[in-house]
Amino acid sequence: MNSGNISIIGKPNVGKSTLFNSLIKKHLAGETNKPQTTRHKIDGVLYEKDTEFLFVDTPGINFNIRKNFNRILNKSALSAIYESDVIVHVINYYEIDSDDHKVIENIRSVEIPKILVLNKVDLDKKSVKLPKILSSLPKEITTIYDEVIPISSKKYSNISRLKILIKKLLPETSKPLYENIISNKPQDFFIAEYIREACIKFLSLELPYSLHVEVNTFNEEEELVSITSTIFLSKKSHLSIVVGKGGSMLVKISKYARINSEKLLGKKVFLKIHVKYDPKWKDTKYFLNSYN
């Protein structure tokens, strides 16, 4: 059988998380149209016949922002490369810009099989631009990749073909490596991610990047999972925005996270969310340890 670790990398906002979810056929990673939705490496296992795929979604690699937090995200994403059996580099099909080139330079000399994925081809409604774009890709770029494939992770276009290409590059093993797991991440990690994803979807552009979510309690019974969590905010003025008039925004966030949690856990979920002002949440032991 074939089994191995596949890291999905690229600059922010190229559709890595949508591709990750499409490949594993589950909603484990947050999907939004805003950059930096993914803060952690998130793995998910797909079993298909005689193949085990351990896909790893990574934070968008951004060398233009010099903040310490962004350096943490870059380090997390780049470290995934060296843990891989196959690297899947995702770009927007219609351009390879300077940010893509910076990612390319970081993987050029890594002796691991690589696939270049040109995503979002659904935007080319009549497939007019794609042939020209494919034929114009510079050789100095395409020669570092074992395969180049256009896809639409949003429309599931060419996803099956991509898995076939990945399988060919995975090492052979005599026995299963990841048997009977969905992910190496604990269940409460995904609950926190669903809450943060809802915040990114429903709140203004800047606010979601100044908050952090922790799950405080996770009590699982036969038919019900009871969860309490906290959204930490770095600005006191954001409290009323997250809660909303009469609690309306918090209800909206909670409903979105609860529905996704129930799909993941296969049980009814009672979810209670608290909102707290803490300007130093990035310095907490819980937050820092989550990147180790």
Report the pLDDT value the prediction gives residue 131, as an integer from 0 to 100. 80
Report the pLDDT value the prediction gives residue 218, as an integer from 0 to 100. 97
Share of the chain above pLDDT 90, in %: 58
Where along the chain do the CATH 3.40.50.300 domains lie? Answer: 2-169
Arithmetic mean of pLDDT, 87-111:
91
What are the beta bridge partners of residue 220?
A: 225
In angstroms, the CA 83 to CA 192 distance is 25
DSSP calls for 25-62: TS--S---SSTT---S-EEEEEEETTEEEEEEE-PPP-
**Confidence band for 87, pLDDT divided at 50, 70 and 90:** very high
Where along the chain do the CATH 3.30.300.20 domains lie? Answer: 187-289
CATH assignment, 2-169: 3.40.50.300
Q: Count Cα atoms within 13 angstroms, Cβ side, for 148.
A: 18
Whether 19 has a pLDDT exceeding 80, the answer reads yes
Question: Which are the contacts of 71, defined by CB distance < 8 A and separation ≥ 6?
Answer: none
**pTM of the complete model:** 0.90
Report the pLDDT value the prediction gives residue 66, as an integer from 0 to 100. 63
**Confidence band for 245, pLDDT divided at 50, 70 and 90:** very high
**Between 164 and 287, residue with greater pLDDT:** 164
Q: Which burial class, exposed, middle or buried, applies to 197 when counting CB atoms under 10 A from its CB (0-12, 13-18, 19+)?
A: buried
**Confidence band for 281, pLDDT divided at 50, 70 and 90:** confident
Report the pLDDT value the prediction gives residue 122, as an integer from 0 to 100. 87
Report the pLDDT value the prediction gives residue 76, as an integer from 0 to 100. 79
Helices 68-81 and 98-107 pack at an angle, to 10 degrees, of 50
Report the pLDDT value the prediction gives residue 136, as an integer from 0 to 100. 80
Whether 292 has a pLDDT exceeding 60, the answer reads no
pLDDT, one tens digit per residue, over 195-214 is: 999 998 898 766 766 788 99
Which of 94-108, 138-152, 184-198, 199-213 is least confident?
Answer: 199-213
pLDDT, one tens digit per residue, over 29-74 is: 988 777 667 888 999 999 998 899 999 999 888 877 666 667 777 7
How does strand 86-92 pair with strand 114-119?
A: parallel
Residue 142: count of CB within 10 angstroms of its CB: 12
CATH assignment, 187-289: 3.30.300.20
Mean pLDDT of the chain: 88
| Nearest-5° Cα angle at 204, 200 to 208 | 40
